[in-house]
Structure 1
Amino acid sequence: MRQPKYLMVETPQGLREACAILAGAATVALDLEADTLFHYGETACLAQLSDGAQIWLVDLRQVTDISPLKPILENTAVEKVLHGADYDIRLLRRHFGINCRPIFDTEVAARFLGMRRSGLAEVLAKRFGVVLDKKFQKRDWMQRPLTAEMCSYAAADVHWLVRLAGLMKADLTGLGRLAWVKEECDILAHSSDRIREPGPLFLGFKGADLLDRRNLAILESLLQARESLAEQRDRPPFKVLSPDVIRQIIRERPETDLELLRIDGLGRRSGTFRAVVLTAVRNALDLPDEQLPEYPRGIGRRPSRSHRFQARVQGLKEWRDSRSAALGLDGSLVCANSVIQELAAVKCPVTPDDLGRVKRLRKWQNREFGAEICNLLR
């Protein structure tokens, strides 16, 4: 594959010159490379942009003020095309205060076109016969200088997006699904508006909702210790103490260094490191019962429901599976399990208008399937 040409932007003046051209574009392709795998925290390293004719690679280690991009990325008359936009738009909001919208997410579009494998490499291979080298996905984008190979990979990520979006829109229009994707993209674009309130670290740990309060205290104490160790060592938390090791520590509840050494992966750790882990466990075990944390009700844990509710859930799932098979779509797109749970709790809906109280139900889903859902729930 012939490598796309690009302009490297390493100065504020270079960014202003790029923005002068991008400001006249109706569509801008965008991608970001960030580091979460090699260092502590989250660092935006590179921004790739294209107007469909030119490509710019903005070195975010050199150009830290990207405010000239803000009017373009927030211009409602300029469509931004991304693939797997969720992380990038949150990164733009958190680090640069940019609300990127409107967007067209080609990953979302691929799923609504029935593609089971919707990664960019798979989509480009199917559409254009292009082969992307996935090895660069897990490279250290903080390193400088960037290699020519890394820059070519980054440029290829946006090179095809404007053209790809146009082809996908035509296909979606033919299937009557373009409005579906536009609504999904709009919801995605505004998801960055929701600022997560600070809370216990265990809320982001898979399986925490299944733990009793004492084990939840151990988990939180370990996660706090891991965060501190990760920051001191400039390492991602998961590389300091993996989720599997944390789960084993919770099960074993070691109280001595000898007991801790029996846990896989900790024998190679320094005595200082193990002492921090042991202290975290002991602090949680010594915590009075009245101070133990509790997993928030309504998050993860579902209350028991009546037989009628369960029957509704089963009926909705059977309908969803049949409908999604007929459409050639993944069932979660037609009606996710979380939406089914909400629908099953609605009292006696007569018309699709009555389903408006179901917050997670999309407008397009109500238009397309509302009457069928009401018939199932009567």
Structure 2
Amino acid sequence: MKPPSIDSTSFTLVDDLESLAYLADKLSEANEFAVDLENNSFRSYQGITCLLQISTRDADFVVDPFTLRDHIGPYLLEYFQDARKRKVMHGANNDILWLQRDFGIYVCNLFDTMQASKVLKLERNSLEFLLKHYCGVIANKEYQASDWRLRPLPYEMLKYARKDTHYLLYIQDLMLEKLHDSRHTGYLAVAFKKSYEVCVQMYKKPVFNYWASYRQLPGLAKAHLDVKQRNVVVALYAWRDKVARKEDESTGYILPNKLLLEIAMKLPMSKNQLLQITGPKKHIVKNADLLIETIRQCVGDDDVTSGSSGKTFQPKG
């Protein structure tokens, strides 16, 4: 049966220990529940979970980690790890890691509707598509890029967040029906195997290495940089990582990848030249003199005037 509308479904904003205990009681009674997370990775070095949405067959819950971060794991982990209870998630690759990172929660018995949609060879695999395809529900794109750190959360943002789990158990029902179909021999086993592979991922804290990490920079291979330009990439990469860690910001917020590569390719030798590339970004303006000096060290003193040096820069720290 299609679930009732969101407006007619019981809803609890879980932002204190009393409501968290109530959620735990509901999960203890449930055979399955749907889960989703909202994360902010643009203004945090490692990212931070801003919301945890959970739906049972008859109720929706939105958990506020900002007030309950140290309690979510102790109250809920046993239900996520209980193999008798199925957890239904969509595109859970990141969510699985965030649950481990922020709450020490590991998931056992997962059905990932994105993996199932790929096995069923649906036209598209997004949750937005599944909501429309199976439920006739149109997702409001207005809130896709919302800042989920906002408090208090407006009603419409809460409603949008609830949609991510409210219909998932019903979507699972319809998908299982298709996967059980005799025309799709083996599809059910494949869907569960792929879901299993998602939930056994293990979170590993990223380790920064100057000479290895920078090679992961998108667009680096196609930039065809020479030795001096690569030296600048390594130095800027190390500088922004240090600043991002210190201020708990994402590296992309400190200095986007595209601008980092552009600086390395153009090798600005003055503050004005640097700001012509980046614009008046706060961290660039504040550290412009340091960055120019770093670039000069990378290309060599002789190269600043004659363009003759290509020595390798050794980052400090």
TM range (shorter): 0.7 to 0.9
Q: Which consecutive residues of structure 2, in runs of 5 or more, have no partner in the other structure?
A: 301-309
Q: Which consecutive residues of structure 1, in runs of 5 or more, have no partner in the other structure?
A: 293-378
Note if 1:274 corresponds to 2:288.
Answer: yes
AA at the equivalent of 2:213: L
Change (3 A) 1:38 1:139: farther
Measured against aligned partners, the alpha-carbon deviations of 1:300-347 in whole angstroms (never above 9, x if no partner) come to xxxxxxxxxxxxxxxxxxxxxxxxxxxxxxxxxxxxxxxxxxxxxxxx
Note if 1:140 corresponds to 2:147.
Answer: yes
Q: Which residue of 2 is the match for residue 46 of structure 1?
A: 51
Change (3 A) 1:283 1:182: farther
Change (3 A) 1:23 1:2: closer
Change (3 A) 1:288 1:151: same
Q: Which residue of 2 is the match for residue 192 of structure 1?
A: 202
Pairing 1:129-278 to 2, within 5 Å after superposition: 129-174=136-181, 175-176=184-185, 177-192=187-202, 196-199=206-209, 200-209=212-221, 214-230=228-244, 235-263=249-277, 265-266=278-279, 271-278=285-292
Q: Using the TM superposition, name which of 222-231 and 148-157 deviates more.
A: 222-231
Q: Which has the higher contact order (CA 8 A, sep 6+)?
A: 2
Corresponding pairs, count: 291
Note the C-alpha offset of 1:146: 0.7
- Distance in 1 (CA, whole Å) between partners of 2:79 and 2:247 is 38
TM-score by length of 1: 0.70
8 Å CA contact retained: 1:45, 1:142: yes
Change (3 A) 1:291 1:35: closer
Note the C-alpha offset of 1:132: 1.2
Pairing 1:357-376 to 2, within 5 Å after superposition: none
8 Å CA contact retained: 1:266, 1:274: no
- Distance in 1 (CA, whole Å) between partners of 2:151 and 2:32 is 30
TM-score by length of 2: 0.82
Note if 1:70 corresponds to 2:74.
Answer: no
Note the C-alpha offset of 1:193: 5.1
Change (3 A) 1:213 1:86: farther
- Distance in 1 (CA, whole Å) between partners of 2:207 and 2:6 is 46
- Distance in 1 (CA, whole Å) between partners of 2:213 and 2:24 is 39
8 Å CA contact retained: 2:243, 2:254: yes
- Distance in 2 (CA, whole Å) between partners of 1:205 and 1:195 is 18
Instruction: Give RMSD over aligned pairs.
Output: 2.6
8 Å CA contact retained: 2:176, 2:188: yes
AA at the equivalent of 1:16: A
AA at the equivalent of 1:151: L
Note the C-alpha offset of 1:216: 3.6
- Distance in 2 (CA, whole Å) between partners of 1:10 and 1:226 is 35
